[in-house]
Amino acid sequence: MIVRIMGEGQFRIDDSDRDNLNELDNAAVAASEGGDETAFLKTFAALLDHVREVGTRMADDELEGSDVLFPPADTTFAEAQHEFTGDGLIPD
């Protein structure tokens, strides 16, 4: 699975980690929809950190289509409330 963090690059992540990413994504959605900015920011940071930790950073010239696009790390809560809704950013 290829995950892009906007403004940061792409990461190759083993498909076996999809459930972990989905769990973090769902927690971010719940915090966003619940209006809990503190919980969202904490969960979103953990989600991006997880991508960086388990993923292998792809070279900038190694472009492939991304399976998942995450907004940049500096995304505000107001911006996130438009993206982290419903089923989240990770397709089932």
Per-residue pLDDT of the chain (92 residues; tens, 9 = 90+): 999 999 999 999 999 999 999 999 999 989 999 999 999 999 999 999 999 999 999 998 998 899 999 999 999 999 888 888 776 656 65
Structure tokens at 8: 């940061």
In this prediction, residue 83 carries a pLDDT of 81
Q: Are 24 and 91 in contact (CB under 8 A)?
A: no
Distance, in Å, from the CA atom of 35 to the CA atom of 53, rounded to the nearest integer, reads 28
In this prediction, residue 90 carries a pLDDT of 67
Distance, in Å, from the CA atom of 5 to the CA atom of 41, rounded to the nearest integer, reads 15
Query: Which pTM value belongs to this model?
Result: 0.88
Q: Are 10 and 64 in contact (CB under 8 A)?
A: yes
In this prediction, residue 89 carries a pLDDT of 57
| Strand order, beta sheet including 2-5 | 56-57, 9-12, 2-5, 68-70
Q: Where are the domains of the chain?
A: 2-80
In this prediction, residue 82 carries a pLDDT of 81
In this prediction, residue 73 carries a pLDDT of 94
